[in-house]
Amino acid sequence: MLHDMSRSGAASAQSRAAARLTHAAALAARFAVGVLRFAAGALRFAAGLAIAAALLVACAPDGPEGDRTREGERERGPHEDKHPDLERLAADFPRVDGSTSTEPLGALVECVVKGVPYRWEMPPGAERTVVPDAGLAGEPGRVRHHSGTHEAYVALIAGGADLALVARAPSPAELEQARAAGVALDAVPVARDALVFLANARNPLRGLTSAQARSVFGRPGERSWRALGGAEAPIEPFQREPESGSQQILEELVLKGTPARGTDEVPIAYTMRGPIMQVAMRPNAIAFSVFYYVRNMAPNPAVVTLAVDGVAPSEETIASGRYPLISPVYAVLRAGTRTDSGAARLRAWLLTPRGQAAIRESGYAPL
């Protein structure tokens, strides 16, 4: 009997030891699971930090050149403190019309004044421009579209616009139209642009003189690229509509009284995009436009801009005045516009350091 009790006690001790071991193993397993869960959470937290850091790097401001090359990636906020005068101007913002090439400037200035974030975009088949996050013309993402240089002057004369942002001064015909309507025009330069000549990238010629440009677009008209220092090939020139901004600039800065060749010899390339498209498709073509539009709104790798009198057009040569065919961008009012009106105050603001900074940010050369 004692022997049986001894065997029973030993078995009970072994059972208790086994239970303790099982309990310890369970505790160890639960601890290991907790460690694994903690490690997994730490890994998820680290991954989240890495993603956040990558997003911060991707969204960091690029600077002016980055703004013009990374479409839609960067949203810009207003760079103005909300000064009371700026708030007054935002509340009384004028009706602005202008040239096709000044539309991004008009949109950017309105965004800055009104404190609306914006970004650069180039929609398929359209010009690159500034797109606001909030609507400037009644709908989100909409801007006030410019109707073109001549049409903007017509609207200003008729009272359909309060201020015109245009690529040239008023033409004689527009001044006569204003006089007939009893209106005088008050044009003030606010930025610098330039007339540029366009050639196909496959054309080896990279420059011409002012006199050679005059001989191509003025009468009687040069017909061969060899006469300009190029290959033996016929020149295929294109011009613009008579009242377009770039045509008027050509006549003022290049032709200088020499009659332009007729449309039977030099066909018209309609719209601002027309000259670029014609030159891109024709190795022997030559046309002209304004630097801002070609550089910022409709860049095309098949088209190059030619140096004039040994100076290539660039932001630096236009800003410094070295490039010979500089053309101001004007803010035009009807003479007699009240100085406390939104139009007059907007033009005055464009000439301040903060306004000139907005002009530089748009891609134009400031004064």
Q: pLDDT band for position 20 (50/70/90)?
A: low
Across 233-262, b (16+ Cβ under 10 Å) vs e yields eebbbbbbbebbbbbbbbbbbbbeeeebbe
Separation of CA 65 from chain center? 10
Closest among 325, 313, 327 to 199, alpha carbons compared = 313
Specify whether 17 is located in the same domain as 47.
Answer: yes
For the ranges 8-12, 116-120, 197-201, the lowest mean pLDDT is seen at 8-12
Judge whether 87 lies within some domain.
yes
Specify whether 351 is located in the same domain as 231.
Answer: no
Judge whether 230 lies within some domain.
yes
Q: Are 105 and 366 in contact (CB under 8 A)?
A: no
For the ranges 9-13, 94-98, 300-304, the lowest mean pLDDT is seen at 9-13
Range among 19-33, 79-93, 141-155, 282-296 with highest mean pLDDT value: 282-296
H/E element holding 147?
A: none
The CATH number of the domain holding residue 129 is 3.40.190
**pLDDT score of 17 more than 80:** no
How is residue 330 written in tokens? 């004007």
Q: Which residue has the higher pLDDT, 103 or 16?
A: 103
Judge whether 99 lies within some domain.
yes
Q: What would the mean pLDDT of 318-338 be, rounded to a whole number?
A: 98
Residue 46: predicted pLDDT: 44
**pLDDT score of 82 more than 70:** no
What is the sign, positive or negative, of the torsion defined by CA atoms of 263, 250, 362, 315? positive
Q: What would the mean pLDDT of 324-350 be, rounded to a whole number?
A: 98
Specify whether 199 is located in the same domain as 302.
Answer: yes
Provide the 3-class DSSP secondary structure of residue 366: coil
Judge whether 65 lies within some domain.
no
Backbone angles phi, psi at 131, to 5 degrees: -120, 120
Taking only the tens place, the pLDDT of each residue in 233-250 is 999 999 999 999 999 999
Residue 154: predicted pLDDT: 98
Biggest distance spanned by C-alpha atoms of the chain: 139
Cβ–Cβ contacts within 10 Å for residue 93, how many?
Answer: 20
* CA atoms of 20 and 32, how far apart (whole Å): 18
pTM: 0.77
* CA atoms of 259 and 251, how far apart (whole Å): 8
Structural domain of residue 121, as residue ranges? Answer: 73-191+333-362
Specify whether 79 is located in the same domain as 203.
Answer: no
Q: pLDDT band for position 37 (50/70/90)?
A: low
Judge whether 150 lies within some domain.
yes
Provide the 3-class DSSP secondary structure of residue 88: helix
Specify whether 83 is located in the same domain as 182.
Answer: yes
User: 3-state secondary structure string, 107-139?
Assistant: HHHHHHHHCCCEEEECCCCCCCEEEECCCCCCC
Specify whether 17 is located in the same domain as 133.
Answer: no
Taking only the tens place, the pLDDT of each residue in 185-218 is 999 999 999 999 999 999 999 999 999 999 999 9
Specify whether 139 is located in the same domain as 237.
Answer: no
**pLDDT score of 51 more than 80:** no
Provide the 3-class DSSP secondary structure of residue 141: coil
What is the domain count for the chain? Answer: 3
Across 29-48, b (16+ Cβ under 10 Å) vs e yields eeeeeeeeeeeeeeeeeeee
Specify whether 218 is located in the same domain as 274.
Answer: yes
Closest among 190, 208, 228, 175 to 334, alpha carbons compared = 175
In the chain, % of residues over pLDDT 90: 71
Q: pLDDT band for position 358 (50/70/90)?
A: very high
For the ranges 29-33, 119-123, 163-167, 228-232, the lowest mean pLDDT is seen at 29-33
Q: Are 238 and 269 in contact (CB under 8 A)?
A: yes
Mean pLDDT, rounded, of the chain: 83
What lies within 8 Å, CB to CB, of 256 at 6+ separation is: 214
Residue 123: predicted pLDDT: 83
Taking only the tens place, the pLDDT of each residue in 142-177 is 557 899 999 999 999 999 999 999 999 999 999 999
* CA atoms of 236 and 219, how far apart (whole Å): 15
Specify whether 197 is located in the same domain as 255.
Answer: yes
The CATH number of the domain holding residue 241 is 3.40.190.10
Specify whether 159 is located in the same domain as 144.
Answer: yes
Q: pLDDT band for position 80 (50/70/90)?
A: very low
Specify whether 198 is located in the same domain as 307.
Answer: yes
Specify whether 49 is located in the same domain as 109.
Answer: no
Separation of CA 82 from chain center? 24
Q: pLDDT band for position 5 (50/70/90)?
A: very low
Judge whether 117 lies within some domain.
yes
Judge whether 66 lies within some domain.
no
Judge whether 367 lies within some domain.
no
Chosen domain end from 15, 36, 60: 60
What lies within 8 Å, CB to CB, of 257 at 6+ separation is: none
Q: pLDDT band for position 83 (50/70/90)?
A: low
